[in-house]
Structure 1
Amino acid sequence: MLNRLQGWRERGWRVVDAETYAQAWNRFGGSVATHPLVVAQLAEMADIPVRYLGWEQAGEIQAAIPTWGRYLALSKDVLKRQGKKGLFDLGNAEIILPAAAGAQAPLRHSARYLSALNQGRFSLLKPQAESLAMAREPEDLSKKFRYNQRRELRLLEEAGGVVKPIQDFDSAEIAAMYCDLFQRRWGFPATGAERMAEAVERLRSLLIGSVVFLNDAAIAIQLVYRVEAPEWISVEYVNGGVDPQTREFSPGSVLSFLNTQSAWEDARARSKALRFSFGRSDREYKDRWCNPVPVFQV
């Protein structure tokens, strides 16, 4: 029965290797959660092998997907079933799978938060009730809002606040700051806290953004990963932590402003679209920074 279902799911697809998948991603593009490095590293961390599949037309790969059984690789459902719930955190990441425009490859593996960019590239997608929060362009934020963000940054700096690049710190330091500030902000441990340093180390080359300090102590940090596809840049803001004792300076808001602005500058310098995802549209603060975008599921 299991093999028959697998045969149905994979009809028209063939098994390919990780290198072939990486070539498809680099040719057609994707998102943080489908990037070859992210898939390979987090699957290895979970000790769950990835089955890569390719869809061919006229002898050429036109689409590729990484899978865990009947799900896409890195699925939270698979982690939960294998007793590894919360092993790592990618939030509710935007899923863009590598495929040629118009390929219409049949996607029969379970997946959620599939980007609208997959439309036409894959068939069998169904609209999902939730939406994702995608960062607005700087010009789409009101002048008053931008003025207030710059003012908050100035007041923080005048009080002795310092902004440092996250890449100035090693993985253990980043994990310690993040887990500490997350716990302070939310009152419960961060997802993946036990092995956070390992997860950060595995994806460290993709980390971008800054850390805000006051009196030599970190007061705001965000885990933000960036990958570059041929036509766009995908940025995933997984989660963040803030010291609530410094709320008067709005360090979390300051950090969101700095991280989104620098990402827009980077994308525009490369003449590429930016897809800066804040994950699911589920919190009021995201409405200030983002526009909701539709997503799909299988």
Structure 2
Amino acid sequence: MLQLLRGWRERGWNVIDRTAYAKTWQRHGGSVATHPHFVERLSALAEMPVRYLGWERGGELLAAVPCWGRHLALSKDVLKQAGKRRLFDLGNAEVILPIAETACVPVRQQMHYVCELNHGRIENLREQSDQLAMARPPENYKGRYRYNLRRDLRLLQEAGGHLKPIGELTPAERAAIYSELFERRWNFEVPGKPRLAEVFALLDEFMAGQVVFLGERPIAIQILYRVESPKWVSYEYINGGFDPDCDKLAPGSVLTFVNTQDAWAEARAKDKQLRYSFGRADREYKDLWCHRVPVYQV
């Protein structure tokens, strides 16, 4: 029976190797959650094999999908079923499958938060009730908000604050800072804490953004993953933490301002679209920074 179900799900698709998947992703683009290295490295961490499928026409791969059984690879549902729900945290990551602009294919693996870029390229998508919060251009901030953010950055610097690229910290240092500041902010343990340094080491080349220090003390950090496609740059803002004792300096807002400004500047310099996701549009503060976009599911 299982073989029959898999045959139905995969009809029209052929098994491909990870190299072919990576080439398809680099050609047609994707998101953080479908990037070849994210899929391969986090699947190895979870000890779950990946089955790569490709849709071919005229000798060309027009689409590809990485699978964990009947789900998209890195699925929260699969991790939960295996008792590994908190092994790593990708939040409610935007899903962009590598699919050619001219293609429209049936995808039968279960997936959520599929990007509007795949709408019209996957024939069986249906809209979710949830939406994603995507960073708005800074010139579209409401009222005097942009002015206030610049003022907050200046006040932080005058108080002895400064910014350091997260890449200047080791994965172990990032994990320690993130754990402490996340738990101080939220009063519960950071997801995936036991193997956080290992995850950050695996994904080191994709971690982006700054860390806020007051003197030598870290007071705000955000976990940002960045990947680049031919026509867009994708950022996935997973979560963050800050020191509540420094709340009057607004380090979290300052950090969001700096990180999003840097991302917009980079994308515009490369003449690419920016897809900077804050995850599910479920908190009021995200509306200050973002506009809401529809997402889809299979």
- Report the TM-score range of the alignment, normalised by the length of the smaller protein: over 0.9
What per-residue deviation string (whole Å, max 9, x for no partner) do you get for residues 113-167 of structure 1? 0001001221100000000000001111135111100100111111111111101
C-alpha contact (below 8 Å) 1:133/1:281 kept by paired residues: yes
The CA distance in 2 between the partners of 1:67 and 1:52, in whole Å, is 6
Q: Cα RMSD (Å) of the superposition? A: 0.7
Is 1:162 paired with 2:162?
yes
Distance in structure 2 (CA, Å) of the matches to 1:49 and 1:123: 27
User: What secondary structure, in the 3-state scheme, does the structure 2 residue paired with 1:114 have?
Assistant: coil
CA contact (8 A) 2:142 2:288 kept: no
Q: TM-score, normalised by structure 2?
A: 0.99
Question: Does the CA contact (< 8 Å) of 1:236 and 1:279 recur in 2?
Answer: yes
The aligned counterpart of 1:276 is 276
Aligned residues: 298
Structure 2 distance, partners of 1:91, 1:198, is 18
Give 5+ residue unaligned stretches, structure 2: none
Question: 2:219 aligned with 1:216, yes or no?
Answer: no
Aligned AA for 1:128?
Answer: Q
| Equivalent position amino acid for 1:48 in 2 | M
Question: Are 1:102 and 1:120, in contact at CA under 8 Å, matched by a contact in 2?
Answer: no
Deviation at 1:263, TM superposition (A): 0.3
Give the residue type in structure 2 aligned to 1:158.
Answer: E
Asked whether the equivalents of residues 236 and 278 of structure 1 are also in contact (C-alpha less than 8 Å), the reply is yes
**Aligned residue number for residue 245 of structure 1:** 245
Q: How does 1:222-233 map to 2 (within 5 A)?
A: 222-233=222-233
Counterparts of residues 108-127 of structure 1 (less than 5 Å): 108-127=108-127
Runs of 4+ more than 2 Å apart: none
- CA contact 2:89–2:192 (8 Å) conserved in 1: yes
Cα offset, 1:59, TM superposition: 2.1
Shift of 1:102: 3.1
Q: The residue matched to 1:241 in structure 2 has which SS?
A: strand
Amino acid in the other structure paired with 1:191: P
Q: Which runs of 5+ in 1 are unaligned?
A: none
Match of 2:69 in 1: 69
TM alignment of 1:86-97, pairs within 5 A: 86-97=86-97
**Secondary structure at the residue paired with 2:285?**
helix
Q: Distance in 1 between matches of 2:123 and 2:8?
A: 15
Amino acid at match of 1:161: G
Q: Deviations over 1:66-108 (max 9, x none)?
A: 0000000000000011111110001000000000013111011
Please list the CA deviations of residues 214-241 of structure 1 after superposition, one character each: whole Å capped at 9, or x if unmatched.
1311110000011110000011001001
Q: Matches of residues 1-298 of structure 1 in structure 2 within 5 Å?
A: 1-142=1-142, 144-298=144-298
User: Does the 8 A contact of 1:13 with 1:56 survive in 2?
Assistant: yes
TM-score, length of structure 1 as denominator length: 0.99
CA displacement 1:36-66 (0-9 Å, x = unmatched): 0111111111110100000011221100000
The 2-side partners of 1:111 and 1:14 are apart by 19
SS, match of residue 240 in structure 1: strand
